[in-house]
Structure 1
Amino acid sequence: MLEKSLEGKSLALKLLVALGFSVLTGVAAQIRIPLFFTPVPITGQTFVVLLTPFLIGPWSVLSQAMYVTLGVAGLPWFSGWKAGMSVLFGPTGGYLVGFILASMFLSKFRAKSFMGKIGSLFFANFLIIHGLGLIQMTLWFYARGSNPDLWKLLSMSLLPFVPGDLLKIFLVSSIVSSPRLRKE
């Protein structure tokens, strides 16, 4: 993996690699399909978020922290070319925080077996990313004076994304289990 080739390299190179994966996340965020019934679009960024820890290890945490920090600072690379603190406090902000925590989890708990990888990716995607997304969306609705029931929240923050996320999880597991990439 790329992570092994980073061993012994300069801090500057490691930071550039982390920044490169931040840029890749920002580009993948523009691969989006808006849904009329939710403020959360289907995007390609979760694929990059789930893949990066297997490629660059703990540097993926910095990569996602850079992505969120630079986006909040004004770089318009969140989904739909958005930027700023309002995105972090908006209905999709929980997912952004989830990207950092999912990267942290996956860089610490990278299973060796194919099924183990799928299990850790399920946890990172559905419990961490979508869990924080659900919490933030709930807070966003409450701040707007709305009190949606759990079914509405799940229909807007999780259920429409399950098929695509399952595909992303399978693809990431397949990629990182490939004998060409694996040096175990």
Structure 2
Amino acid sequence: MSAQHEKLRMMLTAALFAAIIGIFAQITIPLPLVPITGQTLAIGLAATILGSRYGALSALLYMLIGAVGLPVFSGMSGGMGIIFGPTGGYIISFILSAFFIGWYIEKTKPAVFHAFIANIIGMIINLAFGTVWLKIFAQLGWAEAFAAGFAPFIIGGIIKALLASWIGIQVRKRLTSARLLPQSVRNHTA
């Protein structure tokens, strides 16, 4: 397959993962300021399977689709008001988190252990960035922001990191054996 076809296929796959992130965003457990959602699981899966470049692209597409008003954010919401609201930092940080997760796996070895470490660090990036954003936009103190935007998500984040790592590596191996990932991603697969 030509490099151009491979690139197009991966761009379409990134768009598919942007849709998957939007679907997982609707899995919600409401909390007072920031709900628990399936978005971070989907981000971890995208980055673990697609790598840094296309994982981050899927997160960027998800953010842009929601920013223009399509209801892909949690609670079937969308629009720039969400991006520039108290929870917008979490959404923006998905891009950084996905890039880091994919990059870490590319630099180490695509195994569940390395994927888990990458997803845990990705979770910390997401929670830290989101909490700082929440503090600023909701005008909270540091203790309040940590209590509302970081602490409630640690245990769920660890579980989601484990799921994203295990499922993501299994899917990545299968896509690699079927030669459905580009050579650049396949070269980083055990």
Judge same fold: TM > 0.5, yes or no: yes
Residue 51 (structure 1) shift: 1.3
How high is the TM-score relative to the length of structure 2? 0.82
| CA deviation after TM superposition for structure 1 residue 6, in Å | 10
Unaligned runs of 5+ in 1: 143-147
1:93-172 matched pairs, under 5 angstroms: 93-110=88-105, 111-112=108-109, 113-126=111-124, 128-142=125-139, 148-172=140-164
Distance 1:6 1:32 in 2: 41
Match of 1:22 in 2: 18
- TM-score normalised according to structure 1 size: 0.84
Q: What is the count of residue pairs matched by the alignment?
A: 172
Structure 1 residue aligned with 2:47: 53
Change (3 A) 1:74 1:178: closer
- Which residue is equivalent to 2:79? 84
Q: Is the 8 A contact 1:6 1:14 kept in 2?
A: no
1:145 match: none
Find runs of 4+ consecutive structure 1 residues off by over 6 angstroms. Answer: 5-8
1:33 paired to 2:29: yes
Percent identical: 31
Return the offset for 1:169.
1.0
Deviates more, 1:158-167 or 1:108-117: 108-117
RMSD: 2.2
Any idea what SS the aligned residue of 1:40 has? coil
Q: 1:160 to 1:67 in 2, by over 3 A?
A: same
Cα offset, 1:10, TM superposition:
3.9
Query: More helix per residue: 1 or 2?
Result: 2
Name the SS for the 2:70 alignment partner.
Answer: coil
Structure 2, unaligned runs of 5 or more? 175-188
**Contact 2:101–2:115 (Cα < 8 Å) also in 1:** no
